[in-house]
């Protein structure tokens, strides 16, 4: 391995030496570390979850409409994507028989999306598969680390839905 000695310079983004954040640092470094951690984990999750029946987007949308029917626009806003992307996802879900579209009664421009029985079943089956990799990693952590991640999930959730 030529030229790969860990130099631990301040420019290495702390990936080779995450412990240098131990002393409660400022907001900037935290944002950098957090961004890298999240992007890498998400890439990993995407890769691990691939070749399953439902894509991450499909899964997420399917889960969102369980409480009741949602319009395409509401789903798009909730998932922080544009309407055409949501149309595409709903198309796939509908083709697979997992959701149905129905016109709004008050406002016929709206298209309400509802989950079917097959959709609920697929979601339940996919759920365990989807989180398999992450659950395995999480299970290997200390209870303290799990507690931290549990709170972090809540914080990130709030943060990214604003």
Partner DNA sequence: TATTGTTATACTCTATAACTATA
Partner DNA sequence: TATAGTTATAGAGTATAACAATA
Within 58-87, which residues bind a second copy (CB under 8 A)?
60, 63-64, 66-71, 74, 79-81
What's the gap between Cα 112 and its chain centre? Answer: 23
Contact (CB, 8 A) for 33 and 13: yes
**Min dist. Cβ of residue 156 to DNA (A):** 17
What value, to the nearest 5°, has the Cα angle with vertex 93 and ends 137 and 42?
25
Selection from DNA, a second copy, none that 55 binds (CB < 5 to 8 A by kind) is DNA
The three-class DSSP label of residue 86 is: helix
Interface pick for a second copy out of 103, 121, 125, 159 (rule CB under 8 A):
159
* Footprint (CB under 7 A) of DNA, residues 88-117: 88-92, 101, 104, 107-111
Interface pick for a second copy out of 104, 118, 125, 129 (rule CB under 8 A):
104
47 binds DNA (CB under 7 A): yes
Question: What contacts 42, CB < 8 A, 6 or more positions away?
Answer: none
CA separation (Å) from 5 to 2, 16, 17, 43?
A: 8, 10, 12, 25
63 binds DNA (CB under 7 A): no
Selection from DNA, a second copy, none that 111 binds (CB < 5 to 8 A by kind) is DNA
37 binds DNA (CB under 7 A): no
């Amino acid at each position: 391995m030529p030229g790969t000695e860990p130099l631990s310079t301040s420019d290495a983004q702390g990936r080779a030496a995450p412990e240098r954040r131990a002393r409660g640092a400022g907001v900037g470094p935290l944002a950098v570390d957090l961004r890298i951690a999240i992007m890498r984990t998400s890439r990993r999750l995407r890769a691990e979850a691939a070749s399953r029946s439902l894509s991450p987007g499909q899964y997420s949308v399917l889960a969102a409409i369980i409480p009741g029917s949602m319009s395409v626009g509401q789903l798009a806003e909730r998932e922080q994507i544009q309407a055409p992307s949501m149309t595409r996802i709903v198309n796939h879900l509908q083709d697979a028989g997992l959701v149905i579209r129905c016109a709004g009664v008050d406002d016929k421009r709206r298209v309400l999306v509802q989950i079917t029985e097959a959709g609920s079943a697929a979601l339940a089956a996919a759920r365990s598969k989807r989180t398999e990799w992450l659950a395995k990693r999480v299970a290997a952590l200390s209870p303290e680390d799990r507690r931290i991640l549990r709170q972090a999930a809540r914080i990130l959730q709030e943060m990214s839905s604003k």
